[in-house]
Amino acid sequence: MPVPVPPRHGGIAPCPGQIPMLAGVGLRPRHYADVLADPGQIAWVEVHPENYLCAGGPQHHYLTQVRERMPLSFHGVGLSLGGEERPDAAHLQRLRALAARYQPGLFSEHLAWSSHGGHYLNDLLPLPYTRENLARMIDHVGETQEALGRRILIENPSLYLAFEASEMPETAFLAELAARSGCGLLLDLNNVYVSCMNAGTDPLAYLASFPRAAVMEIHLAGHAPEFDRDGLPVLIDAHDRPVADPVWRLFARMVEHLPPVPVLIEWDSDLPDWPILLAEARRAQSIVDRVHERGGGRDVA
Amino acid sequence: MTSPDSLNSEAGFARALWDARLPRPAGVIGRAGRPAADRFDIHRNNIFASLTAALRARFPVVVRLVGEAFFADMAAIFIRRHPPVSPVIMEYGGAFAAFLKEFDAVGALPYLADIARLEWLRHLAAHGADAVPADLSPLARLAPSAMAELRFTLHPTATALSSAYPVASIWRANAVAPDLQPVLADSAGESVLIVRPHRQVLLLDLPPAGDVLIAALQEGRTLGDAAALAAARDLDFDLTLTLAALFRGGAITGFAPGHSSSN
């Protein structure tokens, strides 16, 4: 079933692969031409590797050119590492081949599951934070890192519900996952905000207990405010609009308490024109620059 | 068969996501300890909305022919019967044409399944392997007898589709025209070549049995043998028109004299 990904004639002569400690954007086909027209505008980009698991076609044509000009990160959505079932070996091999071709500087996945019983549910689904699920996910992350031959990052999820069966807070689950599997963490501040608002908890308290030393990337994105059947607000992790002000404030606060890490703007549907997306990345960068000019961002707790 | 206990597990959670008739899992909570029935529905909605959007993008003329609302209802049934088996959503939807063929509610549109086949093949060609069309100018110097002995390598994205319905006419009319076009469903069937020589997927008309010639070439037969097979299938087979489509489509990436050993 796996489609082999042949190396392109001549292969890629990439520019350095390491993701710089600067703002990047999630790259969608709509913006290929904008990025290539003036690659100096953005420091790095991120893509979902699942969208490139094909033999050929325009997306490889453009991504190859992009990779020749800037570092690239892979943000996987399909490994279902939080699930009961082991990560799919054939899928891992396809990802490994794709990574060999594009040499991504970072490779991230999610604290979530999405496959069960041979079917893929195409959503990032929540799991109870139990000792048993933690032990299993440590194994899955370890297996993935071995198959890919590299360290991966795991992202905190957007939650709409919680489980009575949970035995520990999410931050403790992530801390132990990172400590015992050796993975890094991707701190998605929009997800923190969405989850905390949906649960009625305090995002600052969440961040105070987040294992900061393991953070290797930050995500920012927009969410959709909606209402549930009881008329109570519920935030949907829609990635379809600018980053919300409270999320910018969380970001400014976290930058002060973290060593420099790459930050990424995710915008995946209702895509804006390129200058609007670029302006979001510049806003993130200016917040980082302001903090570091003041000498902040170094007090790693 | 489904106890409340089994719902409070990954298997039960997954089952309840696929099937809205099942009770939502026990043990999930929403804001400040409130039950989270409609929070669970956010995930159900995410799954069906995202997969429906993928199918809509993949089968735009099917959407056009049945309408957005009907398509969404039909897609929900398809998704439940044929959930994705891989996290590569690009590969999802191959079973849609066969599903439409058996789906009674679209029985009045007998050509719909073939339109879906055409759109699926266009989708496969869009992401298939890249290859450079061959320079065919040396062929002009060949004697007709030498032409008959040629074996062609076709572009990896090249596929021929033959339908009892005028699929190409229906597809073109509805893919580009601003208003829904009258469907000439009584017209003769059509064969088409689908290929992506460069960035764009092309759709080229083939004469009757043109698809037979292409399939035979793909099996490695000589041009002469392939043409004989096509002519035997349909008296109206036209070799020149078929070759013209292959040439214009950049669908030939190599050729070799037939006497060289070939596997």
List, for residues A38-63, the tens digit of each pLDDT value: 999 999 999 999 999 999 999 999 99
Does position A298 have pLDDT exceeding 60, yes or no? no
Of A79, A84, A164, the CB nearest to B29: A164
Does position B7 have pLDDT exceeding 60, yes or no? no
Q: Are the Cβ atoms of B89 and A57 closer than 8 angstroms?
A: no
pLDDT band at B187 (very low <50, low <70, confident <90, very high): confident
Identify whether residues B245 and B147 lie together within a single domain: yes
Interatomic CA distance for residues B81 and B90, integer angstroms? 18
Identify whether residues B182 and B56 lie together within a single domain: no
* B115 part of a folded domain: no
Number of domains, chain B: 2
Number of domains, chain A: 1
**CATH at residue A33:** 3.20.20.150
Q: What is the rounded average pLDDT of the residues B152-166?
A: 97
Please give the residue of chain A at the shortest CA–CA distance from B132. Answer: A9
Identify whether residues B257 and B140 lie together within a single domain: yes
> For residue A197, what are the CA distances in angstroms to A159, A220, B138, B259?
9, 16, 70, 74
* A70 part of a folded domain: yes
Identify whether residues B141 and B105 lie together within a single domain: no
Identify all chain B residues contacting A94, using CB atoms and an 8 Å cutoff. Answer: 88
* Residue A124 identity (one-letter amino acid): L
Please give the residue of chain B at the shortest CA–CA distance from A228. Answer: B38
Strands (E), chain A: 23-26, 45-47, 72-75, 106-110, 113-116, 119-125, 153-155, 162-163, 184-188, 215-221, 224-227, 233-236, 263-266
Q: Which two tokens stand for residue A194?
A: 């969405």
* B124 part of a folded domain: no
Q: Are the Cβ atoms of A200 and B31 closer than 8 angstroms?
A: yes
* A13 part of a folded domain: no
Of B11, B39, B90, the CB nearest to A51: B90
* A244 part of a folded domain: yes
Does position A297 have pLDDT exceeding 70, yes or no? no
Identify whether residues B147 and B201 lie together within a single domain: yes
- Domain's final residue, options B80, B109, B138: B109
Interatomic CA distance for residues B138 and B153, integer angstroms? 15
Identify all chain B residues contacting A229, using CB atoms and an 8 Å cutoff. Answer: 38
Domain of B249 in residue numbering reads as 130-263
Domain of A100 in residue numbering reads as 23-293
Identify whether residues B169 and B95 lie together within a single domain: no
Identify whether residues B135 and B191 lie together within a single domain: yes
Per-residue pLDDT, A229 = 77
Per-residue pLDDT, B28 = 87
- Domain's final residue, options B77, B109, B141: B109
Please give the residue of chain B at the shortest CA–CA distance from A87. Answer: B87
* A14 part of a folded domain: no
B46 close contact with A: CB closer than 8 A: yes
Identify whether residues B184 and B81 lie together within a single domain: no
pLDDT tens per residue, range A180-219:
999 999 999 999 999 999 999 999 999 999 999 999 999 9
Does position B261 have pLDDT exceeding 60, yes or no? no
ipTM: 0.92
Other C-beta atoms within 10 Å of A52: how many?
21
* B23 part of a folded domain: yes
Interatomic CA distance for residues A192 and A157, integer angstroms? 8
Interface of B with A in 104-163 (CB under 8 A): 126-130, 156-157
Identify whether residues B103 and B156 lie together within a single domain: no
> What value does the mean pLDDT of chain A take?
93
Q: Are the Cβ atoms of B43 and A123 closer than 8 angstroms?
A: yes
Identify all chain A residues contacting B31, using CB atoms and an 8 Å cutoff. Answer: 198-200, 232
Per-residue pLDDT, B26 = 83
Identify whether residues B241 and B186 lie together within a single domain: yes
Identify whether residues B146 and B78 lie together within a single domain: no
Per-residue pLDDT, B176 = 74
* A2 part of a folded domain: no
* A65 part of a folded domain: yes
Per-residue pLDDT, A205 = 98
Identify whether residues B139 and B103 lie together within a single domain: no
